[in-house]
Amino acid sequence: MTAAESTAELGAWVSGVDVPEEVLDRLSLVLLDVFGVTAVGAAQPEQRALRAAWRAPDGPAPLVGAGTCVSTDAAAWLNGIALVSLELDEGNKYAKGHPAAHGFPAVLALAAELDSSGEDTAAALLAAYEVASRFGRATSLKPGAHPHGSWGVAGAAAGCARLLGLGPDATAAAIDTGAGMAIAGHFDSATTGNPVRNAWMGASQSSGLAAARMAAAGMARNTGTAALSLGTLLGSFDVGELTAELGVRWDITHGYFKRHASCSFTHPAADAVLALRAEFPAAAITSILVESHVLGAGLTSETWSNRLSAMFSTPFVVATAALTGQVAPDSALDDPQVQALARRVRLVAADDLTARLPAERAARVSIGFDDGTTLASEVPNPVGDADHHPLSEPDLVAMLKTWLPRQPGLVDRAVAVSHELPGLPRVGDALRGLAGGAEKELN
């Protein structure tokens, strides 16, 4: 089957998809995470500065947690970048990235503009996730490429097309157009702390909206461009992954939620350290050896220039976890003890751990002490993965209220909307309520 034929099959599926009962609870949980994590990101000083510089016009779509509603496109872009700014957004190890973050902000902004039904909005969100994940499975990016803003744009386009009520052919054209709008971002932008890496997710929302609108106008075509853009140019592309077990396997049920504000590749090492933490005096640590799979073995920097680069430094994450017991959105970046311990962290690739991908993203940690003793721990996946100590709604709510101490009511509202949305006759007012109070009060 060609890329165009597979995309056509996806278009037909998306245009008629409804949310099956077996995934409704998981969709609600992912939606809660998106709402909450976006609000956490929106509360950061740099996000407040960005909103001020953007000067977005008033409109129908909420800036989640920011106390205002703006135009659809501005909300999609600004919520998208806020969602990923602290590395707390939901992800999927089989997609090799973040399907929800690629398209949920665009779908939600458009749903607020259209005042769509809850049934249609939920179906569009599910379509955005599943299509993005399938394109993520199909795409093997070249070494050095970052997944933000590449394969997931097709999911954003699919969700927006479903919300616009496009037919099978137009939906396929929207998906194909989204696949042709991929960003070629380098992974080093993350490790060196360049926020353009976050902007790629804002661009994914804008491109998804544009692709669906082009299809609605009759301008878009399905030519199988993903095989060229995501394949020939950016890596390789396995067309079969687009339709494998379509409508039977639901990738949204296989994702992970984050409890650490850091790249998911650092989480297993942090979890392994935290599992041992009660057994050692941090001051006595002389060395920490972290063994990881090949995907995470490059996050070796012992220095960081800002929070983004720190979140992509395994030495920072491991040292912070060992010394403070958490890796939070406000973990100190300039703690001399953390900096000193980070210089004693060594990260290496282990072939046996790489062989366990993608089902496991494992890590081994060995901690040496000044008396010559060592402690070791191995974890198969990060805590919060669907296959390893998955996080429940109470877990997410507790974390979000910790991260949003000044907005507990917003978290409660997000819980309510995440449950009620599929059954609402219209979603506009409910979504706009997630903007919260006046921005001057929230920030």
pLDDT tens-digit readout, 174-197: 999 999 999 999 999 999 999 999
* Chain mean position to CA 36: 12
Cα→Cα distances 253→28, 90, 119, 226, 372, Å = 11, 12, 19, 25, 44
pLDDT the model gives residue 280: 86
Q: Tell me the sheet residues that pair with 145.
A: 186
Name the region of 195 (left: φ>0; alpha: ψ -120 to 50; beta: rest): alpha
Q: Tell me the sheet residues that pair with 347.
A: 290
pLDDT the model gives residue 227: 97
pLDDT the model gives residue 283: 86
Lookup result for tokens 């993965």: 385
The pLDDT tens digits of the residues spanning 206-230 come to 999 999 999 999 999 999 999 999 9
Q: Name the CATH topology of 264-379.
A: 60s Ribosomal Protein L30; Chain: A; (3.30.1330)
DSSP type of residue 43: T
Residues of the chain with CATH 3.30.1330.120: 264-379
Residues of the chain with CATH 1.10.4100.10: 3-258+392-442
**Is 104 in contact with 143 (CB distance < 8 Å)?**
no
Q: Read off the pLDDT band of 37 (50, 70, 90).
A: very high
pLDDT the model gives residue 439: 43
**Is 327 in contact with 261 (CB distance < 8 Å)?**
yes
Query: What b-and-e string marks burial along 86-110, b requiring 16 or more CB atoms within 10 Å of the CB?
Result: bbbbbbbbbbbbbbbbbbbbbbbbb
Q: What's the token pair of residue 313?
A: 């430094």
Lookup result for tokens 């008396």: 371
Query: Residue 9 above 80 pLDDT?
Result: yes
Share of the chain above pLDDT 90, in %: 96
Of the chain, the end-to-end C-alpha distance in Å amounts to: 52
DSSP 114-133: HT--HHHHHHHHHHHHHHHH
Amino acid code (one letter) for 439: E
Q: What's the token pair of residue 211?
A: 């692709």
The pLDDT tens digits of the residues spanning 145-159 come to 999 999 999 999 999
Q: What is the second-level CATH architecture of the domain 3-258+392-442? A: Orthogonal Bundle (1.10)
The pLDDT tens digits of the residues spanning 116-154 come to 999 999 999 999 999 999 999 999 999 999 999 999 999
pLDDT the model gives residue 438: 47
Burial class (CB in 10 A: 0-12, 13-18, 19+), 153: buried
